[in-house]
Every structure is written in C-alpha cells, then in structure tokens.
Amino acid sequence: MKAEQSVGPQDLPRLQEQVEQIIAEARRQGASACEVAVTLEQGLSTSVRQREVETVEFNRDQGFGITLYVGQRKGSASTSASGPDAIRETVAAALAIAEHTSEDPSSGLADASLMCKQVEDFDIYHPWAITPDQAVELALAAEAAAFDADSRITNADGSTVSVHQGCRVYGNSHGFIGGYAATRNTLSCVMIAEADGQMQRDYWYDFNRRGELLASPQSIGQRAAERAASRLGARPVPTCEVPVLFSAELAGGLFGSFLSAIAGGNLYRKSSFLEGQLGQMLFPQWLTLDERPHERGGLASSSFDGDGLATYAKPFVENGRLVSYMLSTYSGRKLGMPSTANAGVFTTFTSAMATSTRLPLFARWAVACWSQN
C-alpha cells in the first residue's frame, strides 16, 4: 500500500479526541467510571493458488468498544460506527446493560496510581509501500519456487501476502489516554506433496514489522516444499518412552497451553491444573520463560496493557520454577493478588494461535533455554 494511504501516527490525535468524547458522554449519561478502546485498521491481502490469483482484498475498519461502571455494576458495548449518534447510542446500550447486572466487588478500573505514565516508541510502525500487483508477484514467486524445489510437490494450497497497518487508542476516566500505530506483514506458502499413494501438506512463512525485511519468496516456497515432502513415508512407531524434540513452530502451541494454565481467568474459575502452584518446579532448571514487552520492533511490544497499566519485563518461569501468574486487574482482585499488567495479553496470544497456519503466531514472550551441560 502506498504510504500516503496508510493508517498511521497521524490518525492518533483524532482517535484520542474520539476517546475523550466517548468518556465525556459516558459521564454525561451517569456512568461512575468507564474505559474505551478505539481502533482504526487497514490491510491488503492477496492469495494465489496453482499459479492463479485467488483473492485480492483491501479492508479499512474503524470502531470502538466501551466498558462502563455504575458503582460496581458493569456494562459493555461496541460499534463499528463513530459519529455522535453512534457514540450516544453505544454508551446508552452499555449503561442499560450495567443497570441490569449484579454488583461485582472485583469490577472497576485499576488504581489510578498504576496507570502508564509515558507511552514509549518501540519502533513498531513501518508502512510498506507495496501495490496489489507486487504482492501477487511475491505470492506467485513463492509458489513457483515450491514447485521447482521437489518433483513430489504436485499441488498448492495457497500462497498469501498480508499487509496490515493499525492504530489503537485506549483511555479511561482516570484521565489516562495512550495509543500507538503498528504494522505487521506476512508472506506464507502452503504446499501439497504426493508419492506412493500418499499426500501430505505443510507450510512455511515469515512475518515482520518491516515488509522489506521479510524472507525472500524463493526461500519460503522452498522451505514449504521441503517440509511437505519430508512428511511422505511417515510410519507409526511402537509405544515407548523416549526423549522428544519439538520443532520451534510446535513449541509455541505447547507454551500456549502453559500460559492458558497460568492465566488469571482460568485460575479464579478453578479450571486450571496450576491453581496454587506458585513456587513449584514445573520445568527443568535450565528453562526460563520471560515476558519482554518493551523490545524494539517486537510483535506485541506495548507500554500499557488492556487496563492502562504500565507493562514491565518479568519472568513467569525462572530456572524451571513458576514464579508468577498472568493477571489482569479483575482476575488479580478475584485471586487477592496484584495485577501483573497482563490484561488483554492472553486474548491476543490465543487468537493469534487460533488463526490459519498460514499466519504467524505473534506474542510478547521469549523463551530462554540453556544446555544442562
């Protein structure tokens, strides 16, 4: 997409003004507190299959969601509209919901003193000036490289180039308003191999804040072909106990299950097998799992979480031991523990994991492993 068309930092002042208008309307209608998130997104997605263009899609979406409180009663509503009438009606809908809900002692905004004091620039916005024709060429090049890589590659299940730019502004009635613009680009290839009556499917991809830094379509296509062909001839093995090595792309799913178990929502609902396990050894001593939300260029770097709290680097697992849960303000109150500034983070993590294998898993965790020797 051309730079002049891009959603970007120039849109933040307008979105911040909209957040202020929504908060003022919520107060006018009688809310005792409220929080608002406004988003503006733009994207280009192209896909090809069997050397033919399948789709070229352009999207531009805007909307907001509001959660307001009447005492300790809570109501939420959202809309894709943005005018004064939409603001008034959406606030009224949230207020009506709040008036019909039960009081919850754990509901309400986080403490004002914990709000993020400064929104940092983590170098996460880099618009990619790519046209639809150029995106199609990249996808076709990836697929062609896959077909050329191995004669057993007989079919394609799609190669995709996705370009995304977005802005998000969060604010609440404590006076905190923060926002950022970000970009995300992906190039993926899914191929099918066939031999001796067997068919196998596999993929490869790359993702980056900067589209120009994506791996070449040739390397992605070749890797997708190699992975698909390597699955041919697979056979079952006898039941046994053996050491298992998981590939990096599978490791994300394994750690996703672990993060689900330490997420506050599952803990206070007593649906986690790790309830009450803080301080216990869960992994070998050589494993540490860190959150690093301030990495420059990180795919989920942010100064604040979904409650407006300042994020910070911390371990969840340190030398094999569980040292922290992953808590929002609400789940922390339910458990009698302080928030870890992780509101909304696990939602992003799991929704990314649930997408097609053509798309990357992006999260703001890093795993550091050291040899036992």
What DSSP designation does 177 have? E
139 and 22 Cβ atoms separated by less than 8 Å: no
3-state secondary structure of 135: helix
Point out the residues of the chain with pLDDT beneath 70.
1-5, 345-373
CATH 3.30.2290.10 segments of the chain: 3-230
How high is the pLDDT of residue 300? 83
Angle at the Cα of 205 (from 199 to 211), degrees rounded to 5?
155
| CA pair distance 278, 237, nearest whole angstrom | 37
How high is the pLDDT of residue 353? 35
DSSP calls for 300-352: T--SB-TTSBBP--EEEEETTEE---B--HHHHHHHTS---S-TTHHHHHHHH
How high is the pLDDT of residue 345? 61
263: left (phi over 0), alpha (psi -120 to 50) or beta: beta
Q: Which distant-in-sequence residues (6+ apart) come within 8 Å of 373 by Cβ?
A: none
Q: Which residue has the tokens 């040739």?
A: 218
What DSSP designation does 5 have? G
**H or E stretch at 25:** helix 12-28
How high is the pLDDT of residue 244? 85
Question: Residue 5 to residues 32, 162, 163, 182, 283: CA-CA distances in angstroms?
Answer: 39, 16, 13, 15, 48
Instruction: Provide, rounded to the nearest whole percent, the portion of the chain with pLDDT above 70.
Output: 91
Counting Cα atoms < 13 Å in the Cβ hemisphere of 6 gives: 22
How high is the pLDDT of residue 161? 98
| CA pair distance 35, 80, nearest whole angstrom | 17
What does the pLDDT look like over 219-242, one tens digit per residue? 999 999 999 999 999 889 899 999
How high is the pLDDT of residue 247? 81
How high is the pLDDT of residue 36? 98
Integer-rounded Cα radius of gyration of the chain: 23
Angle at the Cα of 33 (from 117 to 343), degrees rounded to 5?
55
What does the pLDDT look like over 16-29, one tens digit per residue? 999 999 999 999 99
3-state secondary structure of 77: strand
Question: Other C-beta atoms within 10 Å of 28: how many?
Answer: 10
Q: Which two tokens stand for residue 16?
A: 């911040």
pTM over 0.95: no
Q: Which two tokens stand for residue 129?
A: 């000036």
Q: What's at 346, amino acid-wise?
A: F
What does the pLDDT look like over 289-321, one tens digit per residue? 999 999 999 988 999 999 999 999 999 999 999
| Yes or no: domain 3-230 corresponds to CATH 3.30.2290.10 | yes
Question: Residue 149 to residues 123, 152, 155, 188, 198: CA-CA distances in angstroms?
Answer: 36, 9, 13, 16, 18
